[in-house]
Amino acid sequence: MPGRLKDKDKKACSAPTMDLGTIKERVRKSLTKEKFHRFLFGTKEKQGFLKELSVYALLIAIGFVYLYPVFYMFSTSFMNQADLLDASVKWIPSSLYIDNYIDAAKSMDFWVSLLKGFVIAGIPTILSVVTCMITGYGFASFEFRGKKIMMALLVFSYILPSQVTMIPTYVLYSNMRLTGTIWAFVLPALVANGLNAPIFILIFYQFFKQVPKVLIEAAQIDGAGYWKSFFRIAIPSAGPAILTVFLFCFVWYWNESYLTELYVKGIANSHSFWNNLVIQLKDFDSSFESRATTGGTMTSLNESVRMAATALTILPLLIMYFFMQRHFVESIDRTGITGE
């Protein structure tokens, strides 16, 4: 036994000792490897390079899919006929040919149609915001018999395709003599039944559910009634939801061409007063050719003129989004909408 202990002591003494420089080198390598791992994969507090790279690559790809048609539209709208026929001209025109926009604006009666478009989209939007806000507040603040059934019908009415109710609605509006007038959009908005109204009611319902009930109860203790609590507490706190609903509703009313032509313009009325930019764009080819034959100063119909007409149609929405983008994004975050 003592002999074995002596042998172990000899082996331990004869084992090579690790100097301080080697230890520092190994510690430095391990720290470098750990830093590299955190750089690539991140930590609980910070995202790694690989995750950020994949997210930005996905966002750039999605942005390219959405922005490519817009860039192509504006690029082509400034080309003349020589640029369209020249295969070497792809994205940048040889000169900014603004006559395409002038001819398209004349053919579409731009300023008159723009004003009518704001009326057709603006009045129902304002009414829908007010009525949907009142309805959403009622669902969020009160308990009454049949509430769950009404909520289920509300969701079902949103899921139900509009094509199913289109013909019965048109027959109803025809019997009420609403077709060919703006009342076909105004009256449904007055009763919280406008275009995509169920989703707006659900947005207000979800937002008002987050308002602390103690504020409403404190106001009622101080003598405020239901309407005063609604105007003094609920509405001032619902700014993000109001802005979100307003933008969505306005864009949907603005871009809705089929229902506008069916109800507001009236399919039986070819010379209706209510011709907004979207309807003018739909009938652009025929109106442009008729004006070109009578006027004689307009250019021939080509892709550049069509793109200019399309750009004029979406230009008001682009300007509105440009000035309200920051508030719109903040409103989306506060209302909790994940995508639409």
Q: Are residues 154 and 289 in the same domain?
A: yes
3-class DSSP state for residue 47?
strand
Q: Are residues 159 and 24 in the same domain?
A: no
Please, what's the b/e burial string for 58-94 (b: 16 or more CB within 10 A of its CB; e: otherwise)?
eeeeeeeeeeeeeeeeebbbbbbeebeeeeebeeebe
pLDDT of residue 34: 72
Q: 332 versus 66: which is more confidently predicted?
A: 66
Token pair belonging to 84? 């369209």
Q: Are residues 150 and 47 in the same domain?
A: no
Average of per-residue pLDDT across 64-90: 87
Whether the pLDDT of residue 269 is over 80: the answer is: no
Q: Are residues 61 and 207 in the same domain?
A: no
Rounding to the nearest 10 degrees, give the CA dihedral for residues 197, 201, 203, 208.
160
Question: Whole-number mean pLDDT of the chain?
Answer: 81
CA distance 114 to 104: 13
Q: Are residues 26 and 155 in the same domain?
A: no
pLDDT of residue 1: 47
Token pair belonging to 204? 């207000």
Give a yes or no: residue 86 inside a domain: no
Total Cβ atoms within 10 A of residue 57: 10
**What is the pLDDT confidence band of residue 284, given thresholds at 50, 70 and 90?**
confident
Q: What is the CATH number of the domain that holds 116?
A: 1.10.3720.10
Beta bridge partners of 47: 42
What pLDDT, in 10s, does the model give residues 40-57?
Answer: 777 777 777 778 888 889
Total Cβ atoms within 10 A of residue 285: 14
Give a yes or no: residue 105 inside a domain: yes
Least confident of 7-21, 141-155, 158-172, 304-318: 7-21
**What is the pLDDT confidence band of residue 311, given thresholds at 50, 70 and 90?**
very high
What pLDDT, in 10s, does the model give residues 199-214?
Answer: 999 999 988 888 777 7
Provide the domain limits for residue 314: 100-335
Which residue, 128, 109, 83, is CA-closest to 248? 128
Give the number of domains in the chain. 2
CA distance 278 to 15: 88
Q: Are residues 109 and 250 in the same domain?
A: yes
Give a yes or no: residue 112 inside a domain: yes
pLDDT of residue 135: 92
Average of per-residue pLDDT across 120-141: 92
Token pair belonging to 290? 């008729």
Whether the pLDDT of residue 22 is over 50: the answer is: yes
Q: Are residues 73 and 113 in the same domain?
A: no
CA distance 129 to 198: 11
Q: Are residues 57 and 135 in the same domain?
A: no
